Amino acid sequence: MENEKKISKRKIFYIVLSILAVILIISLIFSNTYIDVEKITFKSRDIPESFDGAKIVLLSDYHNQGENFCERLTDIVKEADPDYIFITGDIIDRIRTDVDKADNFLKKVSDIAPCYLVWGNHDKSVSQGDLERLKTSAVSYGITILEGTTVRIQRGDEYISLTGNYYYYDYPPCEADFNIWLNHFPENFEPIAEQTKKDGNQMDLMFSGHAHGGLIRLPFVGGVIGHNGLFPDYTSGLYEYDGSHMIVSRGLGNSGNVPRLYSTFHVVVCELEREE
C-alpha cells in the first residue's frame, strides 16, 4: 500500500513536470517567432502642421534573421504604410555575420519608405570590411546613415530635425522646433535629454532598441535582464524623462544564440499628432 502511494506521487510529479516542460517549449517557440506590432500616438505642440499624422515605423535589432522572417517582417511594414522607417542598429549579428542577409533586409525595407539608420554594438563588432560593405549597400539603397549627424526632414516649407549618433555626446547643434533622435542604446536617453536641454534645444523624441525587451518579461515587472544588471529601466514602449520622450523597440532578432521568453519581437508604428 505504502509503495503504491509512492508510485502514484512520483507519477503525478512527472506528469506535472512534463506539462511544465511542454508549456515552456511552446512559450519559447512563440516568444522567438511572433512579431508584435505596437501602435503609439505621440502628441506634441512642437510637431509642425504638415507632419500631423506622419507615420514612423521603428525597426531595431534585426540580428541577421533569415529569409522567411524577412518576408514576414516586410509584409507587416508594408501593411503599416509608413512615411519614414527608422532603423536603430544591430542589423547584423556579431556571430551570424553574413552580410548578404543584412543587405537583403536593408534592400527590402528601403523599397517601402525613406529609411534612416544608426549603427548598434553588433554592427560595430563585425570586421571593418563587412561594415563597409553594409554601408555601401545602405547608401546605394538611398538609406541615410546618421553617425553623429543631423538631417532635416522636409515637408513643404516645414521641417523637423533628425539626429543619429552612436556615442551620446557626439552630435552637432540642431535647430528645429521638433527634434527626433536615433540612438541604439536606451541608457543614452537621460544624458542626451539633459545635454540637449542645457544646449537650449531639447530632444523631443528618441527612438531606440538594444535591450531586447529585457530578454525575459514578467507581468507588472517588465524586462528582467539588462546589459548592466537586472530589471533595466528602459526596455519596451514609450518613456518620459525631464520633458523628453523615448520609444524603445524590443527588437526583431536575438543576440547570438540567446533566446527570449515572453519578450516577443516588436515593430513600433508611431504616429505623430500635432497638439493644438
Per CB under 5 A, residues contacting Fe ion are: 61, 90
Nearer to Fe ion, 94 or 274 (CB): 94
Widest CA span in the chain: 88
69 secondary structure, DSSP code: H
User: What amino acid occupies position 12?
Assistant: I
How near is the Cβ of 93 to Fe ion at its closest, in Å? 8
- Alpha carbon distance 178, 150 (integer Å): 13
Shorter beta-carbon distance to Fe ion: residue 48 or 186: 186
Using the structure block, give the residue that is written with the C-alpha cell 553617425.
147
In the complex, the smallest distance separating the C-beta of residue 254 from Fe ion, rounded to whole angstroms, is: 8
CB of residue 148 to Fe ion, shortest distance in Å: 20
Pick the closer one to Fe ion by CB: 61 or 204: 61
Contacts of 56 (CB under 8 A, 6+ apart): 82, 83, 84, 85, 86, 207, 269, 270, 271, 272
Q: For 113, what's the count of Cα atoms within 13 Å in the CB-facing half-sphere? A: 21
Closer residue to Fe ion, CB minimum distance, 245 or 260: 260
Minimum Å gap between C-beta 71 and Fe ion is 21
Smallest distance, Fe ion to C-beta of residue 210, A: 5
Whether the CB-CB separation of 250 and 266 falls below 8 Å is answered with: yes
Residue 276 and residue 274: Cα distance in Å, rounded?
Answer: 6
> Cell numbers of 139, please?
547608401
Shortest distance, position 135 Cβ to Fe ion, whole Å = 18
- Nearer to Fe ion by Cβ, of 123 and 204: the residue is 123
Q: How far is the CB of 33 from Fe ion (least distance, A)?
A: 17
Side by side, the strands of the sheet bearing 149-155 are 149-155, 158-164, 179-182, 205-208, 244-248, 237-241
DSSP string, 138-206: HHHTTPEE-SSEEEEEEETTEEEEEEE-SSTT-------SSEEEE-S-GGGHHHHHHHHHHHTS---EE
